[in-house]
A = this chain, B = another copy of it.
Amino acid sequence: MTRPSHDTPAGILAGLELVELSAFIAAPLAGLSLAQMGADVIRIDQSGGGLDATRWPLSREGVSLYWQGLNKGKRSVQLDLRREEGQRHARELIRQTGMVVTNRPDTAWLDYESLRQDRKDLIMLAIRGTHDNRGAIDYTIQARTGLPFLTGQATGESPVNQMLPAWDMVCGLLAASGLLAAERRRRETGKGSLIRLSLEDCALWMLSNLGMLAEAEIGEEPRRANGNDVFGAFGCDFGTGDGRRVMVAALSNRQWRALTDATGTAEKARHMARALDADLDTDAGRWQARDGLKLLLAPWFAGRDYAEVAETLDRHRVLWGPYQTIRDLVTSDRACSPENPIFARVDQPGAGEYLTSAIPLDFGGERDPGTRRAPVQGADTASVLAQFCTDAADV
């Protein structure tokens, strides 16, 4: 397989090799991030396909679009990991590449200390459910974080799950950074690393980062569900005269002025501020007065069609976005089309041509088309074994 050179943007990680023994989102996302920056990532699955081989969503032909999405730019190998020979081949790939990421449970043949016998400076990143090695997935952790009670108009009895697997995403992306950090140290000191990372810790870390754990521990009163409002600032949604909805926000005085200028409500807002004892020159004041401010602004939106709303808000550089379905996004939003350099239409195996994204990091120049293409599951088995394993003739 020809890899991009250092001089092409996708070749930023040229020369980096990684074995991935993975399923679902977090571990594959780590490999995807590195593969789309030009690393040679070899994903190994059980012969016949891993647990996520047919994970939804599917194409009409039954091919997993989920699997394809998370494995673009990689090579795909299938081995019988229940037998000694498959394990031996996997270990040989790990030894030669010197780097492995996995979310598989601890087993003897994939144990760091044992793998390190073969390669002293091995870097291994092992993802687990919790720091004390209990089973967990994004959705079970989400329930424990309290976020479903803060979503929508949730009440104590009806938590609302967020549908995006945010913790898997954080875990996979942080794993990619962890692997690069460990490789940097290996280059400096020759030392390998065993890196452990749990999905649950990723969630707790991010709640700490956003100040939400501290707020719950030492804050004045517990945060409540605030519907679609942006917490602690002015941000909410409005309906237009022709039945569309838009999300509008102001996180600075400039943005707030833009919004009141666009809607001609500056003077009314000043009166509302006096009526509600709020200082509209601060986020806190705009949050405090938000229900009053919505009363002023809503008629402006309701009195205009979407096209006029959009044109006026854009002209005044208001921070806003239209609500649209994901189908609208794909079919009619220019950001989600080949006009955006991250996208190209790619013929994916068994699914046909569809819009596919390169990594959004733009290092300058053209994206390498190879980093957008998903492999056929298992299709690289023979060539990878021929490249790495001396006894590959028996496969």
Stretch of A182-190, A270-278, A382-390 contacting B (4+ beta carbons < 8 Å): A182-190
Hey, what's the 0/1 contact readout for A57-93 against B, CB within 8 Å counting as 1?
Answer: 1111000111111101000000000000000000000
Main secondary structure of the interface of A (DSSP, over half): mixed
Q: Is A140 an interface residue (CB 8 A)?
A: yes
With A166-B164, A195-B361, A323-B143 as contacts: A329 and B159 at CB distance below 8 Å = no
**Residue pair B181, A163 in contact (C-beta under 8 Å):** no
Copies of this chain per assembly: 2
**Residue pair A326, B216 in contact (C-beta under 8 Å):** yes
**Residue pair A324, B360 in contact (C-beta under 8 Å):** no
A–B pairs, 19, beta carbons within 8 Å = A6-B189, A15-B188, A59-B214, A143-B322, A144-B322, A147-B164, A147-B326, A157-B245, A159-B228, A162-B164, A169-B206, A177-B180, A204-B336, A205-B342, A205-B357, A208-B356, A213-B336, A214-B356, A222-B326
**Residue pair B6, A174 in contact (C-beta under 8 Å):** no
Stretch of A95-103, A300-308, A313-321 contacting B (4+ beta carbons < 8 Å): A313-321
**Residue pair A210, B159 in contact (C-beta under 8 Å):** no
Q: Is A37 an interface residue (CB 8 A)?
A: yes
With A216-B329, A355-B217 as contacts: A202 and B237 at CB distance below 8 Å = no
In the bound complex, residues from chain B placing their C-beta under 8 Å from that of A147 are 163-164, 326
Hey, what's the 0/1 contact readout for A213-241 against B, CB within 8 Å counting as 1?
Answer: 11111111011011110111101010000
Report A156-179 residues with CB < 8 Å from chain B CB: 157, 159-166, 169-170, 173-178
Q: Is A110 an interface residue (CB 8 A)?
A: no
In the bound complex, residues from chain B placing their C-beta under 8 Å from that of A228 are 148, 159-161
**Residue pair A340, B131 in contact (C-beta under 8 Å):** yes
Q: Residue of B at shortest CB range from A185?
A: B12
Stretch of A41-49, A246-254, A259-267, A290-298 contacting B (4+ beta carbons < 8 Å): A246-254
Instruction: Identify 12 new A-B residue pairs, CB closer than 8 A, beyond the known A140-B320, A147-B163.
Output: A12-B182, A16-B184, A69-B208, A69-B214, A139-B230, A140-B321, A143-B237, A159-B228, A173-B174, A194-B364, A213-B336, A222-B325
